[in-house]
Amino acid sequence: MAHPKEILNRLKAIPLKSLSQNFLISPHWAEKLVEAFLCEGQYDEVWEIGPGLGALTQILTTKTQKPIQLFEIDKKLSVFLKEQFPSIPVHQGDFLDHDWNQLISPPRKVAVLSNLPYHLSSPMIFKMAENKNVLSHFLFTFQKEFADRLIAKPNTKNYGSLTLITEVHFSLKNLGTLPAGAFYPAPSVSSQAILFIPKPDSSEMLKTISLIKAAFSHRRKKMASNLKDVFPEVSWEACLEEAGISPQIRAEALTLDQFRFLSNKIK
Q: State how beta strands 110-115 and 135-143 pair.
A: parallel
The answer to whether 43 contacts ligand SAM (rule: CB under 6 A) is: no
Asked if 20 interacts with ligand SAM (CB under 6 A), we say: yes
Q: Does 71 bind ligand SAM (CB under 6 A)?
A: yes
Provide the mask over 104-133, with x wherever binding to ligand SAM is found by CB under 6 A and - wherever it is not.
-----------x-x--x-------------
Find the shortest distance in angstroms from Cβ 59 to ligand SAM. 10
**Binding of ligand SAM by 81 (CB under 6 A):** no
Which of residues 49 and 251 has its CB atom nearest to ligand SAM in the complex?
A: 49
Binding of residue 252 to ligand SAM (CB under 6 A)? no
**Can you tell me which of 6, 94, 145, 201 binds ligand SAM, judged by CB under 6 A?**
94
Instruction: Considering the complex, state which of residue 71 and residue 146 has its C-beta at the smaller distance from ligand SAM.
Output: 71
| 19 contributes a contact to ligand SAM by CB under 6 A | yes
Please give the torsion angle defined by the CA atoms of residues 25, 29, 30 and 34, in that order, rounded to the nearest 10 degrees. -170
User: Does the footprint of ligand SAM cover residue 21 (CB under 6 A)?
Assistant: yes
| Total binding residues toward ligand SAM, as defined by CB under 6 A | 24
Q: How far apart are CA 97 and CA 146, in angstroms?
A: 23
Computed from CA positions of residues 184, 188, 193, 198, in that sequence, does the dihedral angle turn out positive or negative? negative
Task: State the helix-helix crossing angle for 161-169 and 256-263, rounded to 10 degrees.
Answer: 80
From the list 65-73, 81-89, 146-154, 252-260, the region that binds ligand SAM by CB under 6 A is: 65-73
Residue 96, CA distances (Å) to 5, 48, 49, 122, 143 in order: 28, 13, 10, 11, 19
Question: Smallest distance, Å, CB 83 to ligand SAM?
Answer: 15
Q: Binding to ligand SAM by residue 22, rule CB under 6 A?
A: yes
**Nearest residue relative to ligand SAM (C-beta):** 50
Cα(231)–Cα(251) distance, rounded to whole angstroms?
15
Q: 7, 24, 60, 227: which one contacts ligand SAM (CB under 6 A)?
A: 24
Confirm if 118 and 20 have CB atoms less than 8 A apart: yes
- 45 contributes a contact to ligand SAM by CB under 6 A: no
Distance of alpha carbon 222 from alpha carbon 140, whole angstroms: 34
Nearer to ligand SAM, 50 or 198 (CB): 50
Nearer to ligand SAM by Cβ, of 81 and 266: the residue is 81
Of 193 and 251, which has the nearer Cβ to ligand SAM?
A: 193
Binding site for ligand SAM (CB under 6 A): 19-24, 49-53, 55-56, 71-74, 77, 94-96, 115, 117, 120
